[in-house]
Amino acid sequence: MNTQVVAWRGDITQLNADAIVNAANSALAGGGGVDGAIHRAAGSELLQACRKIGGCPPGQAVMTEGFKLPAKFVIHTVGPIWRGGDCDENEILAACYRNSLRVAATKVCKSIAFSAISTGVYGFPKEQAVSIAVKEIYQQLPQYPYIEQLVFCCFDEGMLALYDAELAKYSA
Ligand code: AR6
């Protein structure tokens, strides 16, 4: 595999990647958390672009420009709200990663940074979310050999430690 896969701690709005992946809501209406940070940094044109798209069901992904962000594109995916684990949450979360890569491919994005989808207000257990994210990415990446760098962006040290531990299992 040619892609460098790394975990990085910091604010995803600072990343100069071809695409960053937002943890949006199904109305694409903006919100708190990483979604709020991305909308603030991108400027009001991002909300206008999201309104034109109209919405996105959980597990799917759509793309806009990055506007004032250093990133060229924003991929908006909608994670599952954690409801105890019996409502297809695992499969929907995996689909977020899979469909975000598929959408990134439409612009041949070579560097992509993911936020930790559903691990904030949507309440997905963090360790389980990290395991699903890394597994799905490693399953999908062989289809996209031109991707040079894939970043799991973590907002705090705890998430970074979880990603580093999970990624270590794959680098052996
Ligand atoms: N950069 C990177 N990661 C961040 C940032 C940032 N600037 N800010 C927060 N995080 P959340 P969700 C991390 O709640 O659980 C919104 O209101 C955060 O620490 O943003 O999918 C949407 O509009 C956490 O690990 O997303 C939806 O309504 C991760 O981003 C809803 O929240 C995701 O937390 C989506 O909830």
Is the distance from the beta carbon of residue 116 to the nearest atom of ligand 1 less than 6 Å?
yes
Cα Rg of the chain (Å, integer): 15
How far apart are alpha carbons 67 and 50 in whole angstroms?
A: 12
Question: What pLDDT score was predicted for residue 127?
Answer: 98
- Return all residues near 139 (Cβ < 8 A) that are at least 6 apart: none
What angle is formed at CA 25 by the lines to CA 13 and CA 80, rounded to 5 degrees? 105
pLDDT tier at 86, thresholds 50, 70, 90: very high
Catalytic residues: 35
pLDDT in tens, 2-22: 899 999 999 999 999 999 999
Higher-pLDDT residue of 122, 1: 122
The answer to whether the CB of 130 falls within 8 A of the CB of 162 is yes
Computed over every residue of the chain, the mean pLDDT equals 97
- The protein residue with its alpha carbon nearest to ligand 1, atom 33, reads 120
| Range with the poorest average pLDDT among 83-92, 104-113, 122-131, 163-172 | 163-172
Question: What pLDDT score was predicted for residue 31?
Answer: 95
Question: What pLDDT score was predicted for residue 24?
Answer: 98
- For ligand 1, the distance from its centroid to the CA atom of residue 145, given in whole angstroms, is 28
pLDDT in tens, 136-168: 999 999 999 999 999 999 999 999 999 999 999
Question: What pLDDT score was predicted for residue 172?
Answer: 66
pLDDT in tens, 99-110: 999 999 999 999
> Would the pTM count as exceeding 0.95?
yes
Question: What pLDDT score was predicted for residue 2?
Answer: 83
- For ligand 1, the distance from its centroid to the CA atom of residue 172, given in whole angstroms, is 30
Walk me through the domains of the chain, giving residue ranges and CATH numbers: 4-170 (3.40.220.10)
